[in-house]
Amino acid sequence: MIRSEAARRRLIRALADSVILHAEELTRLDQAIGDADHGLNMSRGFRAVLDDLDRIAALALPQALGAVGTTLVMKVGGASGPLFGTLFLQLGKSLPEPADAAGLVAAAAAALDAVRARGKSDPGAKTMLDVLAPVVAALRAGERDPARLSALADAAAEATRPMRALRGRASFLGERSIGHVDPGARSSALLIGAACAVLSAAAPTGEAADLQAGASDGAFGAPDAGP
């Protein structure tokens, strides 16, 4: 899974583009229930990742994800910097190399737990966790289809709209936080959508098959599609 430098480059660029291209939308969401900086925060972090892409993509996948996490912690700021940073740092620490489907699911679960601990929060508080938790639950239940995982993440972000925020800046608004999608939930769905798109765009023997196979090493160990 994502074993070549070209594949790592595609993945990291897709993750970065997903938030940079939606920065205005993320900022609008944060304008409604926060301080209007989420788009700016996230795109600052991921622009720094892109500035360092040559170095990061040359690393093995766990180290590359860790390097993304370190950059986000240093550059994003706000509440979301340490939280998204923790997500990528823990993915990097937990992902085996080479990864198989079971390793990916375990790493995603460990990353979710790390974000919960870092934010002292749980799903249901109208945060990024309300997207991450159902996606990890689906992975644990055996869902391997990138398109369905991506759609699930989008629906989970939208499902934060009627929630009342119990954590983060939006919680200061109390009842008035109801009726708006949480910005961090939306950026989480964008990142998951980008990762899923890279996996499903790969050739049948490549990354998509890796994830779908639920496979031990067969497809997961297959060479990546060309550049």
Interface residues toward ligand ADP, by CB under 6 A: 30, 34-35, 37-38, 41, 78-80, 83, 119-121, 127-129, 167-169, 182-185
Least separation in angstroms between residue 53's CB and ligand ADP is 22
Chain CA centroid to CA 96, Å: 18
User: Could you give the CA distance from residue 149 to residue 32 in angstroms, rounded to a whole number?
Assistant: 27
Task: Give the nearest residue (CB) to ligand ADP.
Answer: 184
Least separation in angstroms between residue 43's CB and ligand ADP is 11
Binding test (CB under 5 A) with Mg ion, winner from 9, 30, 99, 186 = 30
CB nearer to ligand ADP: pick between 18 and 80: 80
Residue 20: C-alpha distances to residues 123, 169, 190 (Å) = 26, 22, 10
Q: Specify the amino acid at residue 126.
A: K
Q: Looking at beta carbons, which pairs linking 206-211 to residues 24 or more positions away fall under 8 Å?
A: 206/7, 207/1, 207/2, 207/7, 208/146, 210/1, 210/101, 211/1, 211/101, 211/104, 211/144, 211/146
121 is in the binding site of which of ligand ADP, Mg ion, none (Cβ under 5 to 8 A by kind)? Answer: ligand ADP
CB nearer to ligand ADP: pick between 100 and 182: 182
CB nearer to ligand ADP: pick between 9 and 38: 38
